[in-house]
Chain A
Amino acid sequence: MRDEIRSLPTVPGMFVIMRRELRALLQDRRSVTMMVIFGFLLPVLVANGAIGSKGKPSIVLGILTEVLVFPYIAGLQAALTAFVGEREHGTLGPLLATPLSNVSIFAGKLLGAAYVPSLATSAVGFIAFMAFLHGKASDPLTVVAHATLIETIVLSLIAGFAMVVFGLLLGSKSKSVRGAQAITAVVVFPVIFGVQVLAQVVLNYSAWLAWGVMLLLIVAIAASLWFSAHIWNREEALVSTS
């Protein structure tokens, strides 16, 4: 048995953690409920509201950004549970005793608990939204230029990623999940509001301005990820669980 034991490289190690996080998420009724709400109920409900707009592009785009970004709120909550919650319950200790690297654990948890399920829910929500409006007066494919639609989708995707990373950066220092969730409220609302404003900028003014903001966001996300991965370390996690 001892001959088969080895320290996994970063990426395979990350996948081990990611798989566990995904399984845990799918076993958690609250998370599944949130995914159903954000991936199906919300898109259908807001699409129904968008029909009332009689095809106004600005309203359709605004609602589309909500459908695309809202799942990341659940993703952020899941990420905080994966980091702060595990620290709170002391379950991080045994994981940190394995040969997995800090980056494997951090990235695996971030992807498994937050990004992959959020992205999947967002994609399902988008499909549900488009399917519900297909052929109707507010069908985004007919009322909004395709380029604008693509720009809005990319913008929402980046904004969702930014929400999770910034929220995690702010909330991860908290000692309890409740505390972390309270702190992250300051991230969620500005991001949702900001993405709606940017969608209107793309629609009515310059797409280049929106692309500029997106570029800035990407840089900020990369910097926040690097910073989060470095400030998140074994010692701090262990001290918090002792």
Chain B
Amino acid sequence: MIRLENLVRTFGTARAVDGISLDVPDGSIVALLGPNGAGKTTTVRMAAGLIGITEGRAWIDDIDVVEQPAHARARAGLLMGEANLYDTMTLQGYLSFFGEAYGLTPATARKRAGELAAEVGLADRLTRKIESFSKGMRQRVGLARALVNDPPALFLDEPTSGLDVEAAIEFRDRIKEFRHERRSIVLCTHVLAEAEELADDVVVIQRGRIVAHGTPTQLKRSSQGDQYRIRLARSLKKYETVFKDLAVDDIVFNDGVIEFRTKDPAGTNPEIVRRLVAAGADVIAVDEVDRTLQEAYVDIVRSARDAG
């Protein structure tokens, strides 16, 4: 369990993080989204006990990060962007070194290195130097390193950045498995499809504050209502009159396809269809338009920016 309570971090007079609260239960993934400089990485670094917390509190597996940062770090695994490895070391030497840094005996650390190499599919590379590894393999080494201490909490900051499609899919599959291992995961990403695929909860941060929080499905529902599409057999000349006095927004009419948004589809949509039929239109289909998380995210970020 990761718990953040009203986290604040200032750098000089700037508030990089401004009152972020968050719960990440065991076995769940929370995605932190936001533009560059929104405060995602600073939030993760505070939560993982890497940097100081100006105000607020954080707990990893019930260990207070402010009071016991070293103990908190011992319960966390971290992969920040590129893996940043010691290239001249062998995979075994590298993972054993980090095992020892987490307090394992040299023999246990060596054994753990072998287990982890097998877990990330690099067992046959154990004695090779890391400098010979591909980008995807390096990222897997970074993941193995983050798992050295078998952490109940994982912080993954853009873990698939720079990976090719196949490697990114593999990596995401592995992240999904962490859920079954009852780990709490915070995932920072700019890949919205990744967040949509993996996250149980999505948090959008802007200027250090949470501007939206919910499941991907909840976030995809716009505050302006869901979007619908009506397909007609042929174009209608005066479609505006069909929508007169109805609670709809963002009406777009294009070559026999009408798109609109409404907060009351049960009341509004049948009335629109009735009016269309009365106006002589042949209605072929009425569909709900699926918004992607990316579209929802862009709306949220723009609205937050406009709100100042």
Known: A24-B86, A93-B80. A16 touches B101 (CB 8 A): yes
Chain A residues proximal to chain B, CB less than 8 Å:
1-2, 4-8, 13, 16-17, 20, 23-24, 27-28, 89-91, 93-101, 234-235, 238, 241-242
How many A-B pairs with Cβ below 8 Å? 92
For the complex formed, measure the closest distance between the CB of A137 and the CB atoms of chain B, giving whole angstroms.
45
**A96 (CB) vs chain B CBs: closest residue:** B50
Please tell me if the beta carbons of B102 and A20 are within 8 angstroms of each other in the complex: no
Residues of the B chain whose Cβ atoms lie less than 8 Å from the Cβ of A13: 101
The answer, yes or no, to whether B59 is at the interface (CB within 8 Å) is no
For the complex formed, measure the closest distance between the CB of A192 and the CB atoms of chain B, giving whole angstroms.
30
Please tell me if the beta carbons of B48 and A97 are within 8 angstroms of each other in the complex: yes
Q: Interface residues of B toward A: which range?
A: 35 or more
Please tell me if the beta carbons of B88 and A24 are within 8 angstroms of each other in the complex: yes
Please tell me if the beta carbons of A99 and B45 are within 8 angstroms of each other in the complex: no
State the CA gap A96–B48 with chains docked (Å).
11
Residue of A20, A94, A96 most packed against chain B (CB within 10 A) = A94
Residues of the A chain whose Cβ atoms lie less than 8 Å from the Cβ of B145: 94
Known: A16-B101, A235-B52. A6 touches B88 (CB 8 A): no
The answer, yes or no, to whether B71 is at the interface (CB within 8 Å) is yes
State the CA gap A101–B49 with chains docked (Å).
12
State the CA gap A99–B70 with chains docked (Å).
4
State the CA gap A224–B308 with chains docked (Å).
47
Within 8 A of A (CB), among B1-56: 41, 45, 48, 50-52
State the CA gap A98–B94 with chains docked (Å).
14
State the CA gap A235–B46 with chains docked (Å).
10
Interface string of B67-106 (1 = CB under 8 A from A): 0001101111010101111101100010001101111110
Partner of B101, one of A28, A89, A98, A242: A98
The answer, yes or no, to whether B149 is at the interface (CB within 8 Å) is yes
Please tell me if the beta carbons of A8 and B103 are within 8 angstroms of each other in the complex: yes
The answer, yes or no, to whether B150 is at the interface (CB within 8 Å) is yes
List 6 A-B pairs, minimum CB-CB distance, nearest first: A6-B103, A90-B84, A7-B70, A1-B150, A98-B101, A99-B70
Please tell me if the beta carbons of B101 and A95 are within 8 angstroms of each other in the complex: yes
Partner of B103, one of A7, A89, A91, A234: A7
Please tell me if the beta carbons of B97 and A242 are within 8 angstroms of each other in the complex: no
A-B contact list, 14 entries, CB within 8 Å = A1-B149, A1-B150, A2-B150, A5-B75, A5-B150, A7-B103, A27-B88, A93-B80, A94-B80, A94-B145, A97-B50, A98-B102, A99-B101, A242-B41
Residues of the A chain whose Cβ atoms lie less than 8 Å from the Cβ of B70: 7, 99-101
Please tell me if the beta carbons of B101 and A91 are within 8 angstroms of each other in the complex: no
The answer, yes or no, to whether B152 is at the interface (CB within 8 Å) is yes
Residue of B41, B50, B76 most packed against chain A (CB within 10 A) = B50
Residue of A16, A89, A97 most packed against chain B (CB within 10 A) = A97
Within 8 A of A (CB), among B257-287: none
Residues of the A chain whose Cβ atoms lie less than 8 Å from the Cβ of B51: 234-235, 238
Residues of the B chain whose Cβ atoms lie less than 8 Å from the Cβ of A235: 50-52
Please tell me if the beta carbons of A234 and B86 are within 8 angstroms of each other in the complex: no
The answer, yes or no, to whether B215 is at the interface (CB within 8 Å) is no
**B85 (CB) vs chain A CBs: closest residue:** A91
State the CA gap A6–B108 with chains docked (Å).
13
The answer, yes or no, to whether B207 is at the interface (CB within 8 Å) is no
For the complex formed, measure the closest distance between the CB of B38 and the CB atoms of chain A, giving whole angstroms.
14
State the CA gap A90–B46 with chains docked (Å).
18
State the CA gap A148–B52 with chains docked (Å).
51
Residues of the A chain whose Cβ atoms lie less than 8 Å from the Cβ of B73: 7, 97-99
